[in-house]
Structure 1
Amino acid sequence: MTPWHWQCTTTSPWRIRAAWFAFALVVVLYCVHRFSGPSPLETNLLALLPATEADPVAEKAVDRLAGALGDRTVFLVSSRDADHAKAAARQFGAALKESGAFASVTAELPPFDIAQIGALYTPHRFGLLTQDDRDALGVSSSLRDMLMQRIYSPVRGPLATQLAADPFGWLEHWLADLPLATSNLELEDNMLVAHRGDATSVLVVTTLNGSAYESRVQRAVLSAASRAEASLRSAWPDAAVARAGAVFYAESARRASEREVHLIGIASACGIALLMLWVFRSPRLLLLGFLSTALGIGGALAVTMAVFGKLHLLTLVFGASLIGEAVDYSIQYFVVYLGAPREWDAKHGARSVRPALSVALATSLLGYAILAWAPFPALKQIACFAMTGICVAFASVMWLLPALLPKGPKATQRRLFARAAVLLVRWQRAIGAKRAWAVAVALVVVCAPGWLMLKSDDDIHLLIQRDPALVEQENRVRDAVGIDNTAQFFVVQGATQEIALQRAEALGARLDALPQAQSVDGWRAVTQFVPSARRQAEDRALLAGRVFADPAALRATLLQAGFRDDIADAWIASFAQTDAPPLTVERWLAANWSKPFSHLWLGAVEAHGARGYAAIVMPGRVTPQNLPALIETARATEGVAFVDKAASVSKLFGAYRVDSAMWLGGALVLVLALVSARYRLRGGIATILPVLLAVGVTLAAFGYARVPLNLFNCLALMLVLGVGANYAVFLREGCLRDGADLGAVWTGVLLSAATTLLSFGMLGMSAMPALKSFGITLTLGILVSVLLAPMGMPTQVRKHA
């Protein structure tokens, strides 16, 4: 051996180890850096959903409503004793404020000069008429009768106007019609109170110190709420607290996902460790296998956070199950290592296993690449995570493991491999060779009725599972308070602010005209606070023609009713002297009291390259009975779109589920081309047949079990194709490899399948419906794939050494 050759063979492994150590160090430091600052975990469930609306303005409206409600939390303190409920709410609010977890806590309303509302509208009062007053003035109603009704009717509310400034009460009627009190709440002792049956409930509203989807904010809010409730129970045992807010759902989802990550990760790791120890009887190989897997998952974690910025909970839980697939490559290397002759050459071992692992990697990458094409952000993350993880695991097996295993094994599992070889021969005789096509036909006959029984369900709730306890509490808050419907609404657009307001008014008129069976029980829009300039001009023109056309007669009517001369003259003159421009949305938004309703105005927007303005119109009630009428109303009104995020996502689910059949067919053709390039057409068909049958059996099982298919079942079939094809590839490569121990190869295939089944089987028990669909489909498909894998073995098998 020359000195140069000796130096190369001794230093090269150390260089490889140093390179991988540096890679691992960078990955660890980056992950520690990301998790030491603001949490990179994305707990916003809406972030899972794609942009479903064709109009970007509609998507902006969805985001605006989510943002308007996302930073608020609502607590409802209830008791059968009204005084106890109020006292408990004061104590509860004080405890929340003292915790420092909230930016603001409102249990008692601060003093508010309600005259500020009237002050905004008074300068524009002659352009503000309610529909009832407009209708009354449109017919030949007596002005004297209107005036007498105003004088002798009782004051109707806190927004009553002075008789001298509003003789006929038109401004008072307008103020009374403002949708300020659109809930079941009443103002008592400066608190918002709801009375339902014999229970009294008091509202406590808070705003957060940050995003509802930051883990720091979630922990602080949950801790503060728990301590406040504990102190409340000791002081007021008869009081109960219900909560509602995005922060609680986000925290619940984060906690559930972390629990599943620990469960799936630990259970999978323990199960895989026991299996590998039982087969390999070598703690060293176990550690090296987990080292390769850890490098893959660590690299996937770092790359995903670097590419997407955030790591969604769905990706995190799915990543915990990737351990079962990432360890496959090291398992295949180890069986070659253990089944090799005593004179072990690490580089030759890597070269011998490279074709099988390369084909397996290509098929797996193809399956995950299909996920990357799906429009769902979480699926793109999962694809990125998985593709990075298996690529790093593959690279570590090809270069790191040979550097760490330079010497041959001290002992091998000859007896286990021999038994496995006997089992493989018997099973291959039963389903392989000439019998393969008969088995395939038989399976098709058995599966056909199941395929005909297949059904689908594309409901969005298959994706998002909310904590039932939180849902129950939120329903209690909604029932007591009467919170707006925010899931279905109209978006109104116009080239100018005026056109947008006019179209919103036209939509409101159409909603009011709906028959009782299709009624929406009222609606809320910015035009209820700020009419269009045209409407204000029409109202002023109506007053000019119907009321102020004859000033002398109007003055006589006022004097006969008891008004003093100076008051009558001043009011008549105010109409002629009013030169204020129309009330605008900007002026209304500048008033502090408009903030709770500001989300109704989207303002300037840009869609399809054109700039315009948009507003939101919220129907009070949307039911299956009136939904078709609302959709038709939107279609019949220019510039109006009906937004139903849940229905849009469900529709998209269905469309992509149908498209997935075409994706699966295309992926099958690509995989067939890939394996045919390696094994020729006949060998490629034989290799792909087991996984194709596995897909068919999986679909038939869902049909027989009456389990409806969803998009995630169909996308999981892509992974069944990508991962399940590996087992037939491993077997076929073992048959083609000189000196290969087929018993060791079959042992490796079964072990690989067992580890994958273990991890994906745990995924099938996830509380997240999307992941559960993934897990069940993958488990069944991979199980059938490995059982049918010997069908792909060539009829002429090379004799192993």
Structure 2
Amino acid sequence: MMLMARQWTKTQLWSIRATWLVLALVASLYCAWRFMGPSPLETNLLALLPATEADPVAEKAVDTLADALGDRTVFLVTSKDADHAKAAARQFGAALQKSGAFAAVTAELPPFDMSQIGALYMPYRFNLLTREDRDALANHTASLHDALMQRIYNPVRGPLATQLADDPSGWLEHWLSALPLATSNLDLEDNMLVAHRGDTTSVLVVTTLPGSAYETQTQRAVLSAVAQAQSSLKTGHPDASVARTGAVFYAESARSASEREVHLIGVASACGIALLMLWVFRSPRLLLLGFVSTALGIVCALAATLLVFGKLHLLTLVFGASLIGEAVDYSIQYFVVYLGAGPGQRGGWNARQGARSVRAALSVALATSLLGYAILAWVPFPALKQIACFAIVGISTAFASVLWLLPVLLVKGPKRAQRRLFLRAATLLARWHGTIGGRRAWIVAGVLVLIAIPGWLRLASDDDIHLLIQRDPDLVAQEDQVRNAIGVDNTAQFFVVRGASQELVLQRAEALGVKLDALSGARSVNGWQSVTQFVPSAQRQADARATLAQHVFNDPAALRSMLLQAGFRDEVADAWLASYAKSNGAPLTVERWLAAPWSQPYRHLWLGRVDARGGHGYAAIVMPQRVTSQNVTALIDTARSLEGVAFVDKAASVSKLFGAYRVDSGIWLAGALLLVLILLMARYTASGGIATTLPVLLAIGVTLAAFGYAGVPLNLFNCLALMLVLGVGANYAVFLREGCLRDHADLGAVWTGVLLSAATTLLSFGMLAFSAMPALKSFGATLALGILVSVLLAPIGMPPGRRRVA
């Protein structure tokens, strides 16, 4: 009766099983529903990065540029024969258009009436002067009469030529010719954009995507269309080659690589763990139950992450596949208690009592692991926050399933126990503990510290942003080919100009342009692009009008006489003078320019109304054409010399943040170690807590020394992985010590469980060391080494006088 009182009734058993079944179904159905619609996978690499700028205006600028370029793909069709290149480009563009994978495909430019550009500026022509014309008029360095005569008899006219009657001196034509409409090496030939380099001719084909470049369906449709178009091109024009670039290709490459790694890491670690558990437990049933507990943890973690964040980063997906090794640890500890029960207890196996016997060890282990992941949640990296959420939910669910699900599935005792294996494990543990445990622990610690010191002194760091991402080398090479042909260095470095009003933003952007033009030599930027090149500030327009009023229209009678002497008819001269008199000097506005359809390729230069810390304001972007290591310091100094101007370098900002958090992570790690020590001291007394913490502390030190000796620079991800070494590695000493504290515990079974737990964790997290993602590679290498050392030193934490075999 007493035994039955400790057991569950059949109703309770089925109620608990049904509850877990409902939880599994709800989580699984939610995940399936999310993946049946638009893919929740986040393949936008910028989404992995934190907000790094001082105010949200700079972040909006980064997002604006990403959006402006994200829906475009660019192809470069190249051949040594110019006619073949153009024909191939037409065929390639037609194939892409026919595929239906693109919203628009442009191989041949549609006829465009350049007069539309002149029509926008014509009403404001008396407010627009180039710097050269303004200086010439103000300084009297050019004769107005000579300008009129040159205008009349100059046979060379550009595509933005103005009518002689509307622009007698050509000032508007000069201003239109200075517009940065074409800042590349491309020429317009046969309505196509063509670049000639050496003996090759390249033709540009530009497409627009129908949806986001980061949607899986869009990526697959684009890749299929491009593959078919290239295949047909090889048949019709075998001498033509195609280079491509665009966010959609990088996103698809990252997604495919991550999916391959998920399959590799997930399958390899699952198979390895399954073989190990079968070898140790010799029970397919226990193997199945172990994976049931792990699967519950992973599916609940996936559902919770999608529910909280809406999207799933690729980094989180790959990391989640490696969580199998840690989640299965808890079930392993329960199984060794199950199999470690004495032969006489087979008929009297009490599942509830078994769960109670491992509850303390699993609770302490869970607390240390959660501490490591909780620190990740505080780091302002979206991907790391997701990883923390995924791991916390996953291992918490696995923990709960071990205590409340496995006991109701393992009601009957084991048919046989691994007595021989456990006996060997106990003998090995006794010998190893005799070597490194007890009073010798401090000698071992001292020796390890002495060996590690030179390695610590050799430690270096590398905080490069590219540690976060891995770009396909083939795509990078093709992108470089496209950039070299076009002649545009498309960098992620630019200026953000802010102000309380539109006028103030335009004035500050103009002041910035003057300073950029003044840079020379290696410090120069080879030009820049700004909204002020299309819409001058009202002040500059007023200055231009004032210059004309003072030096041209100050004597209308003399000006009329000059026009007539130059050969202008009376009605033309009178009409031009009348148009100036009727104009009220109202300036051209940004809104008026934005409303023009042809301004679309340049609209990203104007951010418009923004919310800043000081309230509402306006902002614009100024894009330098060339940013190098030689001139970046000058650009930063230029921005600092002007109020409301900031130089934005996303890569440098994130790298700087990497470095700052790498340094801070040392403080976090020390604080986490202190918390773990306090937790273990409260559980095992002061000396016991120190002894149980010592193995993982030494593991962290040895891992750092190994990186120093190997010459591998530390980065943020190495340091954050040390948090997980602390959280996971501390479990092994805890499991051993708790086994020593349990009555009738078989230390051989406990040590077997510890070694098996470490092996499964190494199989999963260690696989990350083979990831193509540098961040995950750093994670995996650090975790593998730290966990290996942690488990080898775990017997140091055993209390003295407890080496009983069974």
How far off is 1:169 after superposition?
0.8
3-state SS in 2 of match to 1:425:
helix
Q: 1:33 and 2:16 equivalent?
A: no
CA pair 6-163 structure 1, distance change in 2 beyond 3 A? closer
Give 1:436's aligned residue.
441
Q: Which amino acid aligns with 1:428?
A: H
Deviations 1:699-732 (A, max 9, x none): 0000000100000000000000000000000010
Q: Residues 24-103 of structure 1: matches in 2 within 5 Å?
A: 24-103=24-103
How far off is 1:515 after superposition?
2.5
Structure 2: runs of 5 or more not aligned: none
How far off is 1:800 after superposition?
6.2
How far off is 1:162 after superposition?
1.7
Alignment counterpart, residue 591 of structure 2, candidates 586, 589, 605: 586
Q: Residues 44-443 of structure 1: matches in 2 within 5 Å?
A: 44-141=44-141, 142-342=143-343, 343=345, 344-443=349-448
How far off is 1:150 after superposition?
2.6
Q: 1:9 and 2:9 equivalent?
A: yes
Alignment counterpart, residue 459 of structure 1, candidates 452, 456, 464: 464
How far off is 1:3 after superposition?
14
Q: Residues 447-526 of structure 1: matches in 2 within 5 Å?
A: 447-526=452-531
For 1:571 and 1:483, how far apart are their aligned partners in 2? 40
- The answer to whether the 8 A contact 1:738-1:800 is kept is no
How far off is 1:581 after superposition?
1.8
Q: 1:622 and 2:600 equivalent?
A: no
CA pair 786-2 structure 1, distance change in 2 beyond 3 A? closer
Deviations 1:144-170 (A, max 9, x none): 222233333332411111222211110
How far off is 1:183 after superposition?
1.1
For 1:130 and 1:472, how far apart are their aligned partners in 2? 40
Q: Which moved more, 1:224-233 or 1:160-169?
A: 160-169
TM-score, scaled to structure 1: 0.99
How far off is 1:686 after superposition?
0.3
How far off is 1:8 after superposition?
5.0
- The answer to whether the 8 A contact 1:739-1:800 is kept is no
- The answer to whether the 8 A contact 2:180-2:529 is kept is yes
Q: Residues 636-785 of structure 1: matches in 2 within 5 Å?
A: 636-785=641-790
3-state SS in 2 of match to 1:739:
coil
- The answer to whether the 8 A contact 1:65-1:486 is kept is no
How many residues were matched structurally?
A: 801
- The answer to whether the 8 A contact 1:588-1:594 is kept is yes
Q: 1:549 and 2:554 equivalent?
A: yes
Q: Which amino acid aligns with 1:665?
A: A
3-state SS in 1 of match to 2:770:
coil
- The answer to whether the 8 A contact 2:427-2:805 is kept is no
Q: Which amino acid aligns with 2:114?
A: I
- The answer to whether the 8 A contact 1:114-1:159 is kept is yes
For 2:668 and 2:8, how far apart are their aligned partners in 1? 48
How far off is 1:798 after superposition?
7.3
For 2:488 and 2:225, how far apart are their aligned partners in 1? 24
For 2:602 and 2:8, how far apart are their aligned partners in 1? 74
How far off is 1:4 after superposition?
9.7
How far off is 1:138 after superposition?
1.7
For 2:436 and 2:497, how far apart are their aligned partners in 1? 64
Q: Which moved more, 1:367-376 or 1:129-138?
A: 129-138
Q: Which moved more, 1:662-671 or 1:82-91?
A: 82-91
For 1:345 and 1:55, how far apart are their aligned partners in 2? 61
Structure 1 moving runs of 4+ over 3 Å: 1-8, 798-801
CA pair 78-401 structure 1, distance change in 2 beyond 3 A? same
Aligned-CA RMSD value: 1.4
Q: Which moved more, 1:287-296 or 1:102-111?
A: 102-111
For 1:459 and 1:148, how far apart are their aligned partners in 2? 60
Q: Which amino acid aligns with 2:149?
A: M
For 1:572 and 1:236, how far apart are their aligned partners in 2? 59
TM-score, scaled to structure 2: 0.98
For 2:461 and 2:155, how far apart are their aligned partners in 1? 60
Give 1:560's aligned residue.
565
3-state SS in 1 of match to 2:525:
coil
- The answer to whether the 8 A contact 1:504-1:617 is kept is yes
For 2:378 and 2:411, how far apart are their aligned partners in 1? 41
Deviations 1:32-71 (A, max 9, x none): 1111111110000100000000111000000000000001
3-state SS in 1 of match to 2:405:
helix
- The answer to whether the 8 A contact 2:42-2:311 is kept is yes
Q: Percent identity?
A: 78
- The answer to whether the 8 A contact 2:365-2:728 is kept is yes
Deviations 1:504-562 (A, max 9, x none): 00110111111323111110000000001110010000011011112222222222222
- The answer to whether the 8 A contact 2:101-2:218 is kept is yes
For 1:752 and 1:318, how far apart are their aligned partners in 2? 18
For 1:257 and 1:731, how far apart are their aligned partners in 2? 37
3-state SS in 1 of match to 2:73:
strand
How far off is 1:580 after superposition?
5.5
For 2:479 and 2:496, how far apart are their aligned partners in 1? 26
How far off is 1:320 after superposition?
0.3
How far off is 1:192 after superposition?
1.2
Q: Which amino acid aligns with 2:487?
A: G
Q: Which amino acid aligns with 2:293?
A: S
Q: Which moved more, 1:446-455 or 1:105-114?
A: 105-114
Deviations 1:733-786 (A, max 9, x none): 111111011011111100000000011111110000100000000000000000
Q: Which amino acid aligns with 2:296?
A: L
Deviations 1:676-714 (A, max 9, x none): 111011100000000000000000000000100000000
3-state SS in 2 of match to 1:489:
strand
3-state SS in 2 of match to 1:631:
helix
- The answer to whether the 8 A contact 1:485-1:618 is kept is no
- The answer to whether the 8 A contact 1:123-1:580 is kept is no
CA pair 470-134 structure 1, distance change in 2 beyond 3 A? same
CA pair 372-7 structure 1, distance change in 2 beyond 3 A? closer
3-state SS in 1 of match to 2:113:
coil
- The answer to whether the 8 A contact 2:265-2:321 is kept is yes
How far off is 1:6 after superposition?
11
Q: Which amino acid aligns with 1:583?
A: L
- The answer to whether the 8 A contact 1:265-1:321 is kept is yes
- The answer to whether the 8 A contact 2:187-2:194 is kept is yes
Deviations 1:228-280 (A, max 9, x none): 11011111001111111000000000000000000000000000000001111
For 2:399 and 2:739, how far apart are their aligned partners in 1? 18
Q: Which moved more, 1:525-534 or 1:7-16?
A: 7-16
- The answer to whether the 8 A contact 2:7-2:351 is kept is no
Q: Which amino acid aligns with 1:612?
A: G
How far off is 1:608 after superposition?
1.1
- The answer to whether the 8 A contact 2:748-2:805 is kept is no
For 1:329 and 1:546, how far apart are their aligned partners in 2? 88
How far off is 1:486 after superposition?
3.8
- The answer to whether the 8 A contact 1:71-1:207 is kept is yes
